[in-house]
A and B are shown apart, each in its own frame.
Chain A
Amino acid sequence: MSPEDTIVAISTPPGRGGLGILRLSGTDACLVAAKLLRSIPPWEPWRASLGELVDDEGHTLDQVVVTYFARPRSYTAEDVVEISCHGSPIVLRHAVERALRCGARLAEPGEFTLRAFLNGRIDLAQAEAVRDLIESTTLYQARVAAQQADGAVSRRLAPLKSQLLELVALLEAGIDFAEDDVSIAPDAELLRRLEPIAAGVEQLARSFQFGKLVSSGLTLAILGRPNVGKSSLFNRLLEQERAIVTEIPGTTRDLVSETCSIHGIPVKLVDTAGIRSTADRVESLGVQKSYEALADSDLTLVVVDASQPLEPLDEEVLARTQALGRRLLVANKCDLPTVTELPGAMPVSAVTGEGIDRLRQAIYDAAVPHLEGEETGFITSLRHEQLLREALAALDRAREAIHARIPHEMLMLDLYSALRAVDTITGATTVEDILDKIFSTFCIGK
């Protein structure tokens, strides 16, 4: 095995699909691909061409599209050949096996990305984002992951890191070039510079609240007495974008749940519909189950029937959810003559679909924390959040140290701690980076 050895893998998800892509990366990618195909290299780089996948005897297995990415302008920065087949698992597996016999090696999980990272094509944050891209379940998640793969988190962090670096350089210059014409930065100046860095880091750390929603979604419980139309509402909300809904296994026996996408956020709807048939007999038990679902959910839809007067059970549900705060009131059946006017309730009709779009928007608004700044560049990884919190704690310590008039060479430990945490996301800062900053900022040279 050598570092340049050629790796191969099926890069589309397992199972039968419309297309299946075989990817080869490494010095011999073309050589190996040529043996699999009735098509002779050199192929024109970055241009798709038709080819035929053949077996050991030279029989045609599939008509394929071959694309050759010449290094370093490829995903891994090595020679890459992608063979796009017709997605039959048997054909794909056969092709992989042949590639292995022709000298390729089966790629480890994530090895293409690892190579891209090791070859300096992408940074650490990008490498992690690519992993998220592969694992993403909704289109919006995919879009976010794609943005991060493009370096959105690194980009968002870049100005903060740069400011932090400037502050470090300012203090280092004061220490190392005290003989030069570099004045020692006054405390007020240091605090003034520290402020926006801490604020920016905190904002980005806070964006995890949103990022978390995007990556893991939220749970929405639909609550109400029987016959207010919870089930219809449940189905109505699921209706759109059903194609990308995934069945969540492990649903409880008593509660029905399904995931839909609201403005790209995966929303797990929990309905009490499953206990409706037994609700007549053990009504209170049904309500009890609903309250349990409510305890586990991020947001609650409280549904009443607008065409009927409020019943005691409605009142109880309203009273018990009042204190929770995170609830939306829905007055269903607004297509019928209105009998109950519930203040703050949103009129919808699960039957006609009236008001559903507004409800979806309301769910989104209620679930998604207010975001300052653009929607790009928020973080979706718990690890990034922890690192940013670490950086923030270090910046806080530095602020206290300035107030306590701790000598600069000491308080710099805190600034370097913060920088290290940020570096873990974006890649390392070297002494050279700091010196570059010093020499470009100050006229050093006694």
Chain B
Amino acid sequence: MTPSFHESYEVVVVGAGHAGCEAAMATARMGLRTALVTLNLDLIAQMSCNPAVGGIAKGHLVREVDALGGIMGEVTDAVGIMFRLLNTSRGPAVWSPRAQCDKKQYRIKMRQVLEGERNLMIKQAEVVDLVIEDGQVRAVALRDGRVVAAQAVVITTGTFLNGLIHCGEQTYPAGRSGEPPSVMLGEKLRNLGLRCGRLKTGTPPRLDARSIDWSRFEVQPGDPEPTPFSFRTEKIERDQVVCHIAFTTEETHRVLRENIHRSPLYSGQISGVGPRYCPSIEDKIVKFPDKARHQIFLEPEGLDTNEIYVNGMSTSMPIDVQAAMVRSVPGLERAEMIRPGYAIEYDSVDATELAPTLEVKRIRRLFLAGQINGTSGYEEAACQGIMAGINAGCAIKGLPPVILDRTQGYTGILIDDLINKGTNEPYRMFTSRAEFRLQLRIDNADQRLTPIGRRVGLIGDDAWQRFCAKQERMARVRQFLNASALAQRLKRPEVTIEQLAPELREKLGIEVKMLELKAIETEIKYAGYLAQQQKHIEQLKKAESRRIPESFAFHGLPGLSREVVEKLERVRPLTLGQAGRIPGITPAALSIINVYLDLPARRGLMADG
């Protein structure tokens, strides 16, 4: 240990949100001494916005994090209070789990899991500076004066970098409501010359359950048979709560319209770009003036609290307008607001500054994950966290990096999108972002990713055996179906696997989960579509296998315009496939690069410089 350092770890993770927890857990499980530094020990894994994990495409991400050996899935299974499998009216490729969680229990459970990991130390402190020497991060400086050495640093600061909260005309610096922002670290990152952006997100008001007339709403129950998030959770046996569905009225819209000039969104007070898929209620009224009513969901924030989250009513209106707006909803006439909604602006880093490992390209061993990279959502944060953790660990251990491609998972798609395109609004995952959606299912996330998690040391022996047993079980079912006439029968539109299940059980003598059976059914029934997709996957793999050497000079290629060269130089794609995904790179430019990849003259040129 260098004497100028007060403490020394192999990895320091800054921020203990959904990205930070996964990152720290991953490096610790890889056997590296890890410090997880957070501003407030009591708010680890705080769900800053809605009290739910998962949702369409987001549920896929959680399954992938879990398959890699992450912890979000198990924690959700442990504290979920209402589970639903979404999109079941379609094929299994787009089924996705969602769970309402007990917010407080989520924090407690996560902290418990982290504290159970012997290589992991949780520290309450504010990181204010990074020590960088020879293009590599060496340590972090804490506000209290300590300097903590690290071989790798993962920054996961969420909305805290220069956070600014807006609530009507009132604004104040904050990382979350009631918590101070992280200003000095934000300044540091800007001073390092990283391109930054300013994003905005919002949250709705919370109400007191006792002041709500529950008889006025439609009840939304959970599934009778909850679908767990984790491959390692056998069954969820907990009483579930319900959510309620309410609707705005003409009166709600009138209140908002008449006060629109007081919204910081419309008064010009907010400059950050907000997410289009999660607009504030005032945005919805303005952009869809013909829609007579908007759906809102009343979701409990936990079992031992009266706090109710009003999903769909995100707003930055002044508090008096928020109160009037809430009370215009039938059933909420006497509702008491516990916390008002607000909008928050924060700094993000342009993710095109990052390599596919989430390492900052120009500062070795410095990794960024989560909302700081321009994403939104707990799940989007978690999947980056685990990948940043894995790659920080691999870098320290001298192992090759782990880069997931677009055919391997939503996680790969998310990172590939971010590092190639950056984002100008908070990035959320959608299944439509996946070109190969049919192959990226929640039931096969383990097949795609668990071997990788096992290789890097995140999958323990128990979990690995369970995984192998499942693969064997599925192989037996497939084999049986194909050997018998059942596979042929299953191809007929009117025949479903449910009809065949009893026969399977009897003949094979094993219990196979319905989710697994549905996956096999899809493989057989829609073999043609899957084959079609497989063809495209192979095309992509071919483009991905055309590697562009790091020394390859884009400038000087005849026929490439200066703008194209600038874009290529900024991202420095590693493969021809990646180059093609950079916005503004035309097929013509690609074929030029493709030609020059093969030219010996070019190789000679590269050897020179």
Which residues of A pack against B, CB within 8 Å?
Answer: 1-5, 108, 111, 114-115, 117-120, 124, 172, 175-181, 184, 404-410, 413, 428, 430-431, 434-435, 439, 443-446
Contacts and interface: CB of A to CB of B under 8 A. Distances in A.
Interface in B263-304: 276-279, 283-284, 287-288, 291, 294-295, 297
B255 to A, nearest CB: 18
Contacts of A120: 563, 584
B369 interface: no
B597 interface: no
Interface stretch (B163-171, B377-385, B392-400, B551-559): B551-559
Contact of B589 (A5, A118, A410, A443): A118
B89 interface: yes
Contacts of B284: 443, 445
A416 to B, nearest CB: 8
A118 B90 CA distance: 41
B529 A111 contact: no
A177 B56 contact: yes
A439 B283 CA distance: 12
A430 B583 CA distance: 9
7 contacts: A1-B556, A3-B557, A120-B584, A428-B587, A431-B432, A445-B314, A446-B297
B562 interface: yes
A337 to B, nearest CB: 67
Counting contact residues on chain B (CB < 8 A from A), the size range is 35 or more
Contact of B94 (A124, A409, A439): A409
A443 B284 CA distance: 7
Contacts of B90: 175, 407-409
Contacts of B86: 178-179
A406 B556 contact: no
B596 to A, nearest CB: 11
B431 A176 contact: yes
Interface in B476-524: 493
Contact of A444 (B91, B98, B276, B559): B276
A404 B87 CA distance: 19
A119 B438 contact: no
B259 interface: no
B562 A3 contact: yes
A446 B54 CA distance: 13
Nearest to B533: A413
A171 B404 CA distance: 28
Contacts of A4: 562
Given A4-B562, A175-B87, A413-B533, 4 more contacts: A175-B90, A181-B294, A410-B529, A446-B311
Contacts, number: 119
Contacts of A445: 277-279, 283-284, 312, 314
A117 B91 contact: no
Q: Considering the complex of A and B, which 5 residue pairs feature the smallest CB-CB distances, nearest first?
A: A407-B91, A439-B276, A443-B288, A172-B432, A410-B529
B341 interface: no
A443 B287 contact: yes
Interface string B423-437: 000000011110001
Contacts of B2: none
B559 A179 contact: no
A172 B311 CA distance: 22
B57 interface: yes
A117 B586 contact: yes
A119 B565 CA distance: 11
A348 B559 CA distance: 57
A177 B312 CA distance: 13
A176 B430 contact: yes
B73 interface: no
Contacts of B529: 406, 410, 413
Contact of B291 (A111, A434, A443): A443
Contacts of A435: 276, 430, 432
Contacts of A114: 559, 588
Nearest to A127: B588
